[in-house]
Structure 1
Amino acid sequence: MYRAFLSHRPAIELTLVFLGLPLLAWWQSAVLKRWLIPQILLLALVCLLVLWRDPSFDRRQLRLMPERWRPCLLRIGFLLAVGGLAVLAWAAWAGDIDLFGFPRERPGLWLAVLLLYPPVSALAQEVVFRVFFFHRYRAQFATPGRMIVASALLFSLAHLVLGNWQAPVLALFGGLLFAWTYSRTRSLLLVTLEHGLWGDWLFTVGFGRYFYGGHI
């Protein structure tokens, strides 16, 4: 029985961490969503400690840019430009979004979010949903494509705690982009930059209201 448990341990761990915790947070969202940043930082720290103690983990993934980083940056910039226009069109069409209201009404806080979101929230999320997930559960998914889709779906699921449909939908598309970038480059720095730029744009346009849990 113990051997059977060990053989299924990664799948059990995956279910508990990436399904159980988000569903628990969604169930208790009235309380837990107000402390999203401390929660994701704590989870990222635990994931880093696990990775650091794993001799099979290549720690260079935590600090290096890919060798061919210029084409990667061009692709990120192109997708951000095209996708950013689509997000802007959605915001204008939706009618319930105060377009660019955040930088207009609270420029100081907006600037603080722009500066802090990438190295704090985006970095922590990428440690958990890309670096840890891709290394820890690589044996559970037979192909990179399945790994990318699974990472994006679980990333979207984690946004249910926010109590709206917009955050999970945007997180699904973002998760696909970020997982694809990480799958191709294995660079935490690059995927955090991409995630941070997208997050900053969403907050700037007016979608930040869907990702705000109650504390900044």
Structure 2
Amino acid sequence: MHILRWLELTAFFLCTPLLLMRLVSDLNTWLMPILGAIGMVCLVLLLVDPTFKRFRLINIVEFRQHFRSSILLFIPSATLLLVVLYSIAPEHAFTLPLQHTQLWLLTLLIYPLVSVVPQEIIFRTFFFHRYKKIIPSKAWRWIASSMCFGLAHVVYANWIAVILSMFAGILFGYRYMQTRSTPIVILEHTLWGSLLFSTGIGMFFLTQ
């Protein structure tokens, strides 16, 4: 059983991103539908698993406290990212909202639903539960999920997306362990993703 679960993890989280990058020529069209389909499969597997605690999908206990903690981290970190962006690529700063306002607004509107929600179901809720038996240590599951989250962004064909996503995975995984709440992590992920697309850093998260 453990061997099969390890094979599943390897195929799902390591091989799939690499195969998508190599075999799917039109990622702009197919990436979000594929992500949504995988997220739906993971959600179904969770819901049919009697050992899964479904309250994690709707848990908003101590929401204000956790949201405050997210904001206190977000503000200085976002400021630092902006300083770095202005230092290395000032020409890309705020290009989307300034030059493509309608696209920017549409992105902020649909991004949480089509991207953030499936990602958090897959890489946090599903990963932490599904692989508990083969990775009993929560800390190691945290590390593994963060690495897999970073690797998943190899489809964007640049290492900046992979590295930034790995650090994001560390943050989101930590928040999930703290809160045991998918909605709270979805909110924090949305906050950071919206920042990236608003400031110009999101250029590294576009398919080639």
Number of aligned positions between the proteins: 208
Say whether the 8 Å CA contact 1:35–1:213 is kept in structure 2: no
Distance 1:188 1:109, change over 3 A: same
Distance 1:96 1:117 in 2: 25
Name the residue aligned to 1:3: none
Name the residue aligned to 1:148: 142
1:84, distance to aligned residue in structure 2 (A): 0.6
Name the residue aligned to 1:22: 17
1:34, distance to aligned residue in structure 2 (A): 4.3
Distance 1:21 1:8 in 2: 18
1:174, distance to aligned residue in structure 2 (A): 0.5
**Of 46, 59, 62, which residue of structure 2 is paired with 1:51?**
46
1:184, distance to aligned residue in structure 2 (A): 1.3
1:96, distance to aligned residue in structure 2 (A): 6.3
The one-letter code sitting in structure 2 at the alignment partner of 1:26 is M
Q: Deviations over 1:157-202 (max 9, x none)?
A: 0001111111111101111000101111111100000001100000
Query: CA RMSD, aligned part only?
Result: 1.5
The one-letter code sitting in structure 2 at the alignment partner of 1:85 is T
1:106 paired to 2:93: no
Name the residue aligned to 2:112: 118
Name the residue aligned to 1:89: 83
Aligned counterparts, 1:121-136, within 5 A? 121-136=115-130
Q: 1:140 aligns to what SS in structure 2?
A: coil
Q: TM-score, normalised by structure 1?
A: 0.91
Distance 1:86 1:191 in 2: 22
| Identity across matched positions, percent | 37
- 4+ residue runs over 4 A deviation: none
1:29, distance to aligned residue in structure 2 (A): 5.4
Aligned counterparts, 1:56-67, within 5 A? 56-65=51-60, 67=61
Name the residue aligned to 1:208: 202
